[in-house]
Amino acid sequence: MELNAREALITLNLIPGLGSVRIRSLLEYFGSADIVLAAPQNLLAQVPRIGPALAAAIADWRHCTHVHAELDCAAHAGVRVTTLLDDDYPRVLRNMSDPPVVLYSLGAWLQEDDQRAVAAVGTRIASPYGISCARSIARDLADAGCCIISGLARGIDTAAHLGALDAGGRTIAILGGGLSSIFPPENAALAHRIADGHGAIVSEFPMNMSPSRNSFPQRNRIVAAWGCATIVIEAAGRSGALHTAGLAADMGKNVFAVPGAVTTSSSLGCHRLIRDGAILCTCAADIIGDMGWEPGHQQQLPLFSAPPAPSHPILSAIAAGHTTLDALCSALGISAAELTPQLMRLQIERQISPAPGGAFQLWPSTKDT
């Protein structure tokens, strides 16, 4: 079975146990997903973070994955499948250190969603105070033109999505499982309401994958990355919300926290964040002011990063007709081990794309520059 570049990338994402970090290692080692799938097991096992067991699973991809059935399942559910190789992949996620290689989505993200996006997270077991804060802050943020990013979980996440909808605004829900079955099930109607013109329901996981203890932390990094800032509203001393806040801080983004009663355990995480340097927040105006946003004003930015100049030596070599790995190594005077990570980065940045026969070609926008 011969797969195109997109199908090969989706196939890698279907192999249990890989995940975005290991897939990135494979792509940097081999240069493209189709070469990964054609690689022998012993060579796969040499890639960092792979090892014998995963190498065997990758080599057996024809039996453990069914990419066309996966795409049919997505199409039947009205789900769009977007890969790192596609033009409409979100710019803000493309810049992550470990971007999801595949995104499944119901509804649509817009060009301006990431310009004033706020990730709103907190406990699933929320108090009436927490629910009220989350819904009102999200409503006022959405009314000011912000897109609310959250995880569709019970409690604070649900309140934040509802607050955005109260204002007729935009919201994006990032799930910890596949889109064939919305989790939690009681939020299925909310998910479809969001997808019906108010945002998107997004997952990096295959259609039929159930959420797990490991998938939610993976999901959190997307929530943190998509938001320009993160606000935590009620969180215990140990929680996924604090994990998301920590990821956001590591990405250099502002973290806000709403204070609560000192006598309740659900305020402990927020108070700890404030003590450790998070910005105390009591209303949407605090975030809008600290972020330097004008109420209702949205700066127009391009969805994707500008491509590098075509004077890049690899692009120039491809333009000159050196289109295969061997030809590029010879023309540039570097080894395949040094070249393949650069080729993968140029593919992710949409400067080049795989061509038949193991060759590479320039993207049209690069040719025209």
Check whether residue 137 and residue 216 sit in a common domain.
Answer: yes
Q: Which pLDDT score, from 0 to 100, does residue 297 have? A: 44
Check whether residue 128 and residue 214 sit in a common domain.
Answer: yes
75 part of a folded domain = no
Taking the C-alpha atoms of residue 90 and residue 357, their distance in angstroms, rounded to an integer, is 29
pTM here is 0.81
Check whether residue 232 and residue 338 sit in a common domain.
Answer: no
Check whether residue 261 and residue 192 sit in a common domain.
Answer: yes
299 part of a folded domain = no
Check whether residue 198 and residue 338 sit in a common domain.
Answer: no
301 part of a folded domain = no
39 part of a folded domain = yes
Check whether residue 115 and residue 241 sit in a common domain.
Answer: yes
Element (H, E) at 254: strand 254-258
141 part of a folded domain = yes
Cβ-contact 244, 224 below 8 angstroms: yes
304 part of a folded domain = no
Check whether residue 176 and residue 282 sit in a common domain.
Answer: yes
How many C-beta atoms lie closer than 10 Å to residue 349's C-beta? 18
CATH code where residue 144 lies: 3.40.50.450
How do residues 229-240 score in pLDDT, each as one tens digit? 999 999 988 888
Check whether residue 364 and residue 238 sit in a common domain.
Answer: no
Check whether residue 231 and residue 109 sit in a common domain.
Answer: yes
Which of the 8 DSSP states describes residue 358? G
Domain extent, residue 318, equals 313-368
133 part of a folded domain = yes
Check whether residue 286 and residue 321 sit in a common domain.
Answer: no
Cβ-contact 111, 218 below 8 angstroms: no
How do residues 242-276 score in pLDDT, each as one tens digit? 999 999 999 999 999 999 988 888 899 999 999 99
CATH code where residue 350 lies: 1.10.10.10
Q: What tokens does 61 get? A: 């991809």
User: What is the number of domains present in the chain?
Assistant: 3
* Cis bond before residue 211 (omega within 30° of 0): no
Choose among 147, 149, 112: nearest CA to 301.
Answer: 112
Taking the C-alpha atoms of residue 127 and residue 298, their distance in angstroms, rounded to an integer, is 33
Question: What residue ranges of the chain have pLDDT lower than 70?
Answer: 1, 296-311, 357, 364-369
Q: Which pLDDT score, from 0 to 100, does residue 319 have? A: 83
Choose among 353, 357, 366, 364: nearest CA to 31.
Answer: 353
- Helix 215-226 and helix 240-250: axis angle, to 10°? 50
Q: Which pLDDT score, from 0 to 100, does residue 308 have? A: 39
Q: Which pLDDT score, from 0 to 100, does residue 93 have? A: 93
15 part of a folded domain = yes
Check whether residue 182 and residue 262 sit in a common domain.
Answer: yes
Domain's final residue, options 43, 65, 87: 65
CATH code where residue 52 lies: 1.10.150.20
Check whether residue 143 and residue 209 sit in a common domain.
Answer: yes
